[in-house]
Structure formats: structure tokens, C-alpha cells
């Protein structure tokens, strides 16, 4: 898989997803949007909250697993506050949920280990279900699988029942496997 952003200098981050992560064109755009958001916010790496922000903004199927517009508004509110420097204070700090070993990077730029792991897991889980590409629900499920990542912290602070959201996401993924 090529993981590039056209409007940014070509630089393959050391903690980027590897060849095993087959993302759909829409999910590649989500990842690129997360990378642009991180750069715009002044962050040195893309974390799971950047991925969640880009995913919620761009994927209708992901928005549908939430409990309605008020819940989505709270989630986006936390994410926007973060991106403008209020609320959750993570800017400049590397995300490390402890789920994946941190590999030191020269300059500290690229993808946080949990963000890279989520992209990898989304591709791997989609392939396990016989799908060529991961989609938004695959990525959301992968984010929710790491209970200590920033994306989950945002969801919890916004009052989202993460266990319920994970169950609804899995139900939609399983339903998508059934032939109609």
C-alpha cells in the first residue's frame, strides 16, 4: 500500500502502516486528512484522535453507529477544541497507549504507534473477513480496540459508551459480510 499525501512533502514516517494495511481509497483519504490536520495543528505526529476526527467528518457509516446528532456534536466539539488548543492538552506529546512498543524516531515525526497499529489492524481485520480493503467501520473498530488511545479518551469525555459503540460497530461489520 502506498501511504502518501499529495499536498505534503513526500516523507514516509517511520511508524507508518506497512504493506499489510489495505485501505480503501476513502480510508486513504481519511488517513491523509488526519495527517494534514496534525500538521495544521502543529503536532509532530498523527495520533488516533486525528484519525477519529477525520473519520467522523468524512464517513457516513461511522456517523450512523453513534447515538444520534447530539452525541456526534459532543465528540466533534472535543475534537475541535483540541485542534484549536483548548480542552485536552496533547499538542507536542507523543501518543503512547502502551499497546504497541514505541520505536524511537529521528525528529519524532510520523504516526503514533497506536495510530499506525489501528490502520494496520483495520486492514488486517478486513482481509480476515475476505474484503480487499478496510473501510471506515474497520478503522473505527480498530481505534476502539485500544482502550487507552486518545480516540477512546475523546469518546469517553464526550459521554460516548465505548463498549456500546464497539458492539454496534461490530454488528454493522458482521451485517456487511452477509450476502443480501
The answer to whether residue 2 is domain-embedded is no
| Share above pLDDT 70 across residues of the chain, in percent, rounded to a whole number | 71
Quote the pLDDT of residue 89: 53
- Return the CATH number at 161: 1.10.1780.10
The answer to whether residue 12 is domain-embedded is no
The answer to whether residue 71 is domain-embedded is yes
Q: Please name the helix (run of DSSP H) or strand (run of DSSP E) that holds residue 110, with its range, or none.
A: strand 110-111
Domain count, the chain: 1
**Contact at 8 Å (CB) between 138 and 74?**
no
Q: Which domain holds residue 122?
A: 25-177
The answer to whether residue 6 is domain-embedded is no
Distance CA 119, CA 95 (A): 15
- Report pTM: 0.79
The answer to whether residue 1 is domain-embedded is no
**Tell me: the pLDDT tens digits for 63-101?**
999 999 999 999 999 888 877 665 445 544 555 544 444
The answer to whether residue 3 is domain-embedded is no
Distance CA 94, CA 39 (A): 14
Amino acid at each position: 500500500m502506498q501511504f502518501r499525501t499529495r499536498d505534503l512533502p513526500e516523507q514516509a514516517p517511520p511508524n507508518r502502516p506497512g504493506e499489510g494495511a489495505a485501505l480503501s481509497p476513502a480510508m486513504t483519504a481519511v488517513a491523509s486528512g488526519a495527517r494534514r490536520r496534525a500538521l495544521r495543528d502543529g503536532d509532530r505526529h498523527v495520533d488516533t484522535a486525528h484519525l477519529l476526527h477525520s473519520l467522523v467528518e468524512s464517513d457516513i457509516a461511522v456517523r450512523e453507529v453513534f447515538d444520534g446528532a447530539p452525541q456526534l456534536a459532543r465528540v466533534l466539539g472535543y475534537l475541535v477544541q483540541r485542534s484549536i488548543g483548548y480542552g485536552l492538552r496533547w499538542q507536542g506529546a507523543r501518543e503512547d497507549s502502551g499497546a504497541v512498543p514505541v520505536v524511537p524516531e529521528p525528529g519524532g515525526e510520523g504516526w503514533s504507534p497506536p495510530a499506525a497499529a489501528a490502520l494496520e489492524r483495520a486492514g488486517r481485520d478486513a482481509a480476515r473477513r475476505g474484503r480487499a480493503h478496510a473501510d471506515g467501520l474497520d478503522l473505527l473498530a480498530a481505534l476502539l480496540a485500544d482502550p487507552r488511545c486518545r480516540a477512546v479518551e475523546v469518546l469517553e469525555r464526550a459521554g460516548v459508551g465505548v463498549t456500546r459503540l464497539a458492539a454496534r460497530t461490530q454488528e454493522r461489520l458482521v451485517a456487511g459480510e452477509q450476502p443480501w
